[in-house]
């Protein structure tokens, strides 16, 4: 590239999504990752794009809603530019309800969702039907929402890389010099660097583990059972995850994965006997605010931060990308106050 308008450090979901958004607006973009695309937490398996419960509304939930609603069109554009599928599908989600009290609360949330979700998606309480792809529910009732979607994380990253290059951008694996505005989307290492820069702890890493089973249920909804995501994908696999480990001895997979598999089979007996085809472990960046961190890097002119996706990075990515492109390329600042670096 003869010149660069925006340098993005980090080849994960935030970095590549921002690169695509900037490139689509005509900016000359260079992505730099010293370890490889998806080498951090974005290279996982689960790919659950799911909303928070529709109650106690706040800017984080509103931002996530906007991102989930724009995701279908946004990923369709990525696929059209790149010529690669991202595995996106808005097929909804089922959650079991434990008892009559849980059913009552879920129905109240359904009423709230009519307003908060702007009529664009439903949160309904439905009876168990006995279908194979359905979680066991002690109450006989399930929550079904039509906002949840799924994506194949690694495939989506490859589609973004190809889209960035098709738009005239560069993706560099290794070291290269910064040029133009610099956006830091470097996960746990970036949170550590930001903590040193600001003189206070602004976040940390949380280890997660997941696995993938060969089980062909491509049009099934994802399931959320006792904190566990069970996500059927378009490639004939079902992802199961994930653990949340604040303390760990090493970053590799370990015996905790067997517990995930046992829980998944207990929730959905149809998965019994399905072979494990992949395992993953990684450390996800969690900001102290529990929200994404976005905006200018204090004291470093021309430098910006986009970090802290934690478990919701893929779901937040379309909106994060467009807001960061607005800020860096056009000077329009619509970062929610609770997401700002200064709020940490």
Distance, CA of 275 to CA of 54 (rounded, Å): 36
Dihedral sign for Cα 82, 279, 132, 103, please. Answer: negative
Specify whether the CB–CB gap between 215 and 132 falls below 8 A: no
Residue 2 is predicted with a pLDDT of 65
Domain ranges, ordered by start, for the chain: 6-89+148-202+289-343
Q: Annotate 2-31 with b (16+ C-beta within 10 A) or e (fewer).
A: eebbbbbbbbbbbbbbbbbbbbbbebbbbb
Give average pLDDT by consecutive 10-residue segment, the chain, 344 residues: 89 98 98 96 96 93 96 98 97 97 97 94 96 92 98 98 98 95 97 96 95 89 94 96 91 90 91 95 94 96 97 96 98 96 90
The DSSP output letter for 312 is: S
On the CB side of 300, CA atoms within 13 Å amount to: 15
Q: Which residues contact 42 (CB under 8 A, 6 or more apart)?
A: 12, 13, 14, 153, 157, 187, 309, 313, 314
Find the farthest-apart pair of alpha carbons in the chain and give their distance in angstroms, rounded: 65
- Copy the structure tokens of residue 163: 């889209």
- Give all strands of the β-sheet with 93-96 in edge-to-edge order: 123-127, 141-145, 93-96, 222-225, 228-232, 237-241, 203-214, 276-287
Q: Annotate 249-264 with b (16+ C-beta within 10 A) or e (fewer).
A: eeeeebeebeebbebb
Residue 218 is predicted with a pLDDT of 74
CATH of 6-89+148-202+289-343, one of 3.10.20.30, 3.90.79.10, 3.50.50.60, 3.40.640.10: 3.50.50.60
From 39, 44, 34, select the one nearest 9 (Cα to Cα).
Answer: 34
Distance, CA of 243 to CA of 252 (rounded, Å): 13
Residue 1 is predicted with a pLDDT of 54
């Amino acid at each position: 590239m003869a010149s660069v308008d925006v340098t993005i450090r980090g080849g994960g979901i935030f970095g590549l999504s921002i690169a695509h958004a900037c490139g689509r607006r005509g900016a000359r973009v260079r992505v730099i990752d010293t370890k490889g695309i998806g080498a951090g937490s974005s290279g996982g398996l689960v790919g659950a794009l799911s909303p928070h419960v529709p109650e106690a509304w706040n800017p984080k939930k509103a931002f996530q809603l906007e991102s989930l609603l724009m995701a279908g069109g946004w990923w369709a554009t990525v696929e059209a530019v790149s010529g690669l599928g991202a595995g996106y599908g808005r097929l909804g989600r089922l959650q079991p309800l434990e008892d009559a009290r849980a059913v009552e609360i879920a129905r109240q949330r359904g009423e709230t969702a009519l307003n908060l979700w702007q009529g664009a998606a439903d949160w309904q309480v439905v009876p168990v039907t006995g279908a194979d792809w359905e979680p066991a529910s002690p109450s006989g009732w399930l929550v079904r929402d039509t906002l949840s979607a799924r994506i194949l994380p690694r495939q989506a990253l490859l589609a973004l890389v190809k889209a960035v290059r098709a738009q005239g951008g560069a993706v560099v694996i290794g070291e290269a010099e910064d040029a133009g505005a610099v956006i830091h989307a470097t996960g746990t290492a970036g949170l550590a660097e930001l903590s040193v820069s600001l003189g206070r702890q602004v976040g940390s890493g949380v280890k997660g583990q997941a696995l993938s089973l060969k089980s062909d249920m491509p049009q099934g909804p994802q399931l959320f059972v006792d904190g566990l995501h069970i996500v059927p994908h378009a490639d004939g696999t079902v992802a199961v995850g994930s653990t949340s480990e604040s303390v760990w001895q090493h970053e590799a997979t370990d015996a905790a994965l067997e517990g995930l598999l046992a829980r998944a089979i207990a929730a959905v007996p149809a998965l019994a006997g399905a072979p494990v085809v992949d395992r993953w472990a990684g450390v996800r960046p969690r900001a102290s605010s529990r929200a994404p961190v976005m905006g200018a890097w204090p004291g470093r002119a021309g430098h910006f931060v986009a970090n802290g996706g934690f478990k919701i990075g893929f779901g937040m990515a379309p909106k994060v990308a467009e807001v960061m492109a607005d800020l860096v390329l056009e000077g329009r600042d619509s970062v929610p106050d609770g997401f700002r670096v200064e709020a940490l």
